[in-house]
Structure 1
Amino acid sequence: MHSTHATAHLAATTDKNLELVLHVLPAIVVILAASALCGRLALMVKQPRVLGEMVAGVLLGPTLFGALFPSIQKAIFTPEVKPILYVLSTIGLTVFMFLVGAGLDHGGGAGKKDTKNAAVLAVSGIVPSLLLGAAYLLYDKLSRPDVSSFQFALFIGGALSITAFPMLARILYERRLENSRLGRMTLLGASIDDAAAWCFLAVLSAMHTGAGAMHVLRMIGFTALFALVMLTVVARLLRPLGAKVERTGHFGFDQMYIIVGIVLVAGLFTDYIGIYSVFGGFIAGLAMPRNPAFRAALHSRMMDIVCVLLLPIFFAFSGLNTELGGIAGWGMIGPLLLILAAGFVGKYAGCALAMRGVGFSWRESWAVGGLMNARGLMILIFINIGLAQGMITKEVFSMLVLVAVITTAGAMPLYRWAMPERLEQRMSPPTPEPKAASGSTAPEPEPVHA
């Protein structure tokens, strides 16, 4: 009798799991189809693919798909499917941020003067976004009642200060400018900007828990300890692995198990202490060996599946939370335009004036200002964390999604306007590309998304 009951329970569980799979797979197929189509359209109009994928996510939400075919949209993105999409997107973001950290050349290449100028550039991209006052003006209208005006302003300012670092790196790599003085300084400045934004978010997450100053200090302490251990102890332990890949050109399954395990454990730990798994992934990436062959193999093995499968799921999940209809009308259009203006002026003009101040030409300065103003995937990660933790409303989330799309779309036209190809070629250093390790056919790693 007991055996019969257990068998029936197992059969029912199996049927339920199969039904869930039959709901999740069509949702993923729809997401990938929309992302592929919109990504291709973006490339046709000389925009980065990620912009099309961001737009695809918004279109799959209530803004278009849900408005035109509400019953079909609800049948595809059922309440049971959404948690699965959330888990997949979180894993994708954690691994993506790991690859961003692993691809960040923080070990050198820039002299003291370049480092100082990069710090000036970074500050010029952060401070104006915090001081323009848009967040304080909109606090009473847009903020949640349990969020203070300081927290609200810090969140909006942090979101607007973000630069799409991987996209910026990709543009400079494609144009062979990553080793130029302008390229090195811009990449370093953008990395400082993004690191500061993640620090803002970590502090805000701690403050928003309402657990008191001791809890905030404890969280910050655990985060600092985690980063210290990863960047010293773990990084040191991984050096032989990087040297072996550099020497043999072989990156096998054994190495992949180690790397993926470190990423997931790092994400789990940072999630546990309350600062979201993407931070753990990013710090784990910074701890990776800096050997060119190791980085090339890592990116060639992991980046494509993350960008083709997992990140489109994240864009779709973001789109399901984006209700542009809710910000229609002058009551919300005004605040949207104010936030957009604050973000654009603060980042574009602030960074351009800083570049001019440290000796670059006006054309170079405006080109960098345009690139630094792109926010891409990075701001979507930032605001999704804010929405999940209850720091912003859905209206503010939707506005910042629009800011992300508009500023990302404007980056390349602004860059091309300021830096025609003939001038760009003069800046490109004549040095050849570094060769990969013997036996390795993987190309030099390039951040390819966001």
Structure 2
Amino acid sequence: MIGIDEANIFYLLLQLSIIFILTNFVNSFLKKNNQPTITGDLLVGIILGPTILGSFFPKIYNFIFPQNLVQVAMLDTLGWFGLFLVLLSTGIEVDFSSIWKQRKNALVISILDIIIPIVFSMAFIYFLPSRYFEFSDNKFITSFFISVIMTISALPIAIRALREVGIMKSDLGFLIISALTINDIIGWIVFTLLLSLFSMKFFDWEIAVKITLYTGVFTVLALNIGKKVVNWFFSKVVNQDSDGVQGVLAVLISTGVVFGLITLEIGIHTLFGFFIAGIVAGDSPIFTKSARNTVHNFVYSIFASLFFVNIGLKINFFESFNLFLALFITLVGVTGRYLGAWIGSTLSKNIKYRNIISIAHTPGGEMHIVVSLIALSFGLLNKELFVAIVFAAILSSIINGPWLAIASKRFNYLESFEVLVYPGIKLEAQYKEQAISKLLDLLKLEYREANILENVLDREDIVCSGLQNSIAIPKGNIEDETKTKIIYARLENPINWNSLDGKLTKNIFLILTSREEQENQIKVVKKITNFSKKCDEIKGLDELATEKNIEDYITKILSD
């Protein structure tokens, strides 16, 4: 009889200790260089696995990672649990309600960013030498399946890159995130459907139609009725839990389990249920930014690392690495996703910013690795193709940040703007709507004020303007003005702006631009976002006591 004894527990604890120490060391270095931590997790797995430790120090490798069934299964279980939590966390980052309100342009970009990469990738992958398809009975189907994997862009990588360059909170940043989010949802639906259909021993049209129909019905019901049910559960557990985090985690994981069981019964992969559960839970107003950060840190500091490290522990990357295939998959994937977003941006009349939009769609990231691993476990890929896709995902993620930073240099120079400081500097307000309304009073806009206030609040409803370190940048459009206006106020009593770091907001920069001046909005957002990362400069602003000094200080920030 196979069971777990104290030796198994000891080896598991030894494995976890080594993994966590190494991943923390490597990832701290990568974070300082603005690189994705998934690279560090995979690197640690490659170092500890058969690629390096197993090849050069086999005795140490076999001591730390005994290859008996129970020991391997214990680490595998934690790794797969980590994968489920990664999908939950990814779904949480999707603000579906806000994105749906702005779906028009985003849908065009997303749909073309799925269709064109599939067609483009198929045109090249299908003509790869037959030896790469020795594991498959149908070269066309396998090529199509790999092309579908290539369409899914990396939302977390894009979010990180947009934050780094400072345009995340602009209208352009929101359009990019909206398009990527819809790309994620459609991509996962297509992938899970194809996975279910391709895994059938005998293709049956009736079963295929049922699976497709059930998946569509489940998704619609989950994003509507399911959202209300989950929100009700959140309201109950948060009221009973002093800090809300324990209850939120319980509801979140339970929702993932329930949705996963439903998708399992439908005939598609359980991971899709967890992804949709994350979207549904993340749409709840009770699920605060601080709770999201807690969940994200909990998942990515422990369980996500285990999953990606475990990939490196299972595969000898030296034996399975093919440089030509890896570079080929990278080039085809990046080019296909770039072209899809480029054409989508053109058709949606975002020609002016299509290069930025297209670059943001190029990284593969963790979702490429996840879906290709699932395909590998189903026998739809061999190890050589899997390693090539992993290489492409990592390389496209690494180059995305620097590439986007170079492209966004056009937003460095701001001209024709006016800085206004609230009389007396300090503003009394109990909530952000009141604060914004008082700032607009400065302009004496009379009958137009209500429309502008509504415009600013609508944007706040779509994407919260709270930055880190107690700064908020609400935005709006103002007609018949030639200059961009930035109105500053320091709150007498800081208020909750639902900022990412959970801090109360003290400094408000209201940004008003005309519809013809939208690029100025991006430039101001970039300048102030980068300013919000500099604690010493924020302290310098807080120490200023006269309107003139503050006006000069802000003017310098925006002009540099």
Q: Does the Cα contact within 8 Å between 2:88 and 2:275 map onto a contact in 1?
A: yes
- 1:100 corresponds in structure 2 to 90
1:293·1:437 contact (CA, 8 Å) conserved in 2? no
Deviations 1:205-250 (A, max 9, x none): 2222224323333433443343344223332223334567599985
SS in 2 for 1:163: coil
Is 2:404 the counterpart of 1:415?
yes
- Give the aligned partner of residue 264 of structure 1: 257
Which amino acid in 1 is paired with 2:404? Answer: Y
Match in the other structure for 2:449 = none
Give distance in 1, aligned partners of 2:160 and 2:373. Answer: 24
CA positional deviation for 1:144: 4.4
In the alignment, what sits opposite 1:219? 211
2:230 is equivalent to residue 238 of structure 1? yes
| Contact residue 108 and residue 344 of structure 2 kept, 8 A | yes
Equivalent residue number for residue 185 of structure 1: 175
The aligned amino acid for 1:188 is: S
Q: How big is the shift at 1:287? A: 2.1
Judged with a 3 Å threshold, the aligned counterparts in structure 2 of structure 1 residues 425 and 92 are, in CA distance, closer, same or farther, namely farther
1:335 paired to 2:325: yes
CA distance in 2, matches of 1:93, 1:259: 15
Identity among equivalent positions (%) equals: 21
1:54 counterpart residue number: 42
Q: What is the CA-CA distance between 1:26 and the residue it aligns to?
A: 1.4
What letter corresponds to residue 153 of structure 1 in structure 2? S
Q: After the TM superposition, which residues 297-316 of structure 1 pair with which residues of structure 2 at under 5 Å, given as runs?
A: 297-316=290-309
Number of the residue aligned with 1:447: none
CA deviation profile, 1:182-215 (whole Å, cap 9, x unmatched) = 1121111111222232123212222222243233
Distance across 2 between alignment mates of 1:352 and 1:246: 47
Q: What is the aligned partner in structure 2 of residue 319 from structure 1?
A: 312
* 2:344 paired with 1:351: no
CA contact under 8 A between 2:235 and 2:286: conserved in structure 1?
Answer: no
CA distance in 2, matches of 1:204, 1:139: 24
Distance 1:103 1:242, change over 3 A: farther
Q: Which residue in 1 is equivalent to 2:367?
A: 378
Residue of structure 2 equivalent to 1:6: none
**Rg (Cα) greater in structure:** 2
Per the TM alignment, residue 47 of structure 1 is displaced from its structure 2 partner at its CA by 1.6
Change over 3 Å in CA distance of 1:39–1:53 after alignment to 2: same
Q: Separation in 2 of the partners of 1:66 and 1:278?
A: 31
> Paired residue for 2:146, among 152, 156, 171?
156
Picking from 359, 365, 381, the partner of 2:354 is: 365
Query: Distance between the aligned counterparts of 1:392 and 1:196, measured in 2?
Result: 22
Distance 1:335 1:96, change over 3 A: closer
**2:76 corresponds to:** 86
Aligned counterpart, 1:290: 283
Distance (whole Å) between structure 2 residues aligned to residue 187 and residue 424 of structure 1 = 24
Q: Which runs of 5+ in 2 are unaligned?
A: 416-458, 467-471, 473-494, 505-560
- Displacement of 1:110: 6.7
Structure 2 Cα separation of the partners of residues 186 and 353 of structure 1:
14
- Residues 48 and 129 from structure 1, CA distance in 2 versus in 1: closer, same or farther, beyond 3 angstroms? same
Answer whether contact 1:163 1:374 (CA < 8 A) is retained.
Answer: yes
Q: Which stretch shifts more, 239-248 or 74-83?
A: 239-248
Task: Kindly indicate whether structure 1 or structure 2 has the higher relative contact order, using CA contacts under 8 Å at least 6 residues apart.
Answer: 1
CA distance in structure 1 between the partners assigned to 2:45 and 2:292 by the alignment: 25
Which structure has greater helix proportion?
Answer: 1
Distance 1:354 1:237, change over 3 A: closer
CA spacing shift, 1:248–1:17, aligned 2, 3 Å: closer
Partner residue in 1 for 2:271: 278
Q: Distance in 1 between matches of 2:73 and 2:405?
A: 41
- Report the equivalent of 2:378: 389
| Alpha-carbon shift at residue 25 of structure 1 (Å) | 1.5
Corresponding position of 1:5: none
CA RMSD between the two structures:
3.3
Match of 1:40 among 28, 48, 67: 28
> Cα gap change, 1:247/1:126 in structure 2, threshold over 3 Å: closer, same or farther?
same
- The one-letter amino acid of 2:219's match is A
**CA deviations over 1:368-393 (Å, ceiling 9, x no partner):** 32221112111111111111111111
Counterpart residue type for residue 382 of structure 1 = V
Which shifted more, 201-210 or 351-360?
351-360
* Cα distance change on mapping 1:69 and 1:370 into 2, 3 Å: farther
Counterpart CA distance in 2 for 1:41 and 1:394 is: 29
Q: 1:105 to 1:84 in 2, by over 3 A?
A: same
Tell me the TM-score normalised to structure 2 length. 0.67
Q: Alpha-carbon deviation of 1:118? A: 1.7
Q: Deviations over 1:118-137 (max 9, x none)?
A: 22322343233222322211
Assess if the C-alpha contact under 8 Å between 1:110 and 1:185 holds in 2: no
Q: Which runs of 5+ in 1 are unaligned?
A: 1-8, 445-450
**SS across alignment from 2:289:** helix
User: Structure 1 counterpart of 2:374, which letter?
Assistant: I
For the pair 1:209 / 2:200, whether they are aligned, the reply is yes
CA drift of 1:164 comes to 1.2
- Could you list the per-position Cα deviations for residues 321-362 of structure 1 after superposition, in whole angstroms to 9, with x for gaps in the alignment? 44332345xxx4333332222112112344245435544466
- Asked if residue 166 in structure 1 is aligned to residue 156 in structure 2, the reply is yes
Tell me the amino acid that sits aligned with residue 78 of structure 1.
Answer: P
Instruction: Identify which range, 185-194 or 172-181, moves more after superposition.
Output: 172-181
Q: How does 1:429-444 map to 2 (within 5 A)?
A: 432-433=465-466, 436=496, 442=502
2: CA distance between counterparts of 1:437 and 1:42? 30
Larger deviation, residues 122-131 vs 31-40? 122-131
Comparing 300-309 with 407-416, greater Cα deviation is found at 300-309
Cα offsets for 1:15-62 (capped at 9, x unmatched): x42111112121122222221122122223332333322333333333
Task: For 2:413 and 2:257, locate their aligned partners in 1 and report how far apart those are by CA, in whole Å.
Answer: 41
Cα distance change, pair 289–52 in 1 and its aligned pair in 2 (3 A)? closer
Q: Aligned partner of 2:228: which letter?
A: R
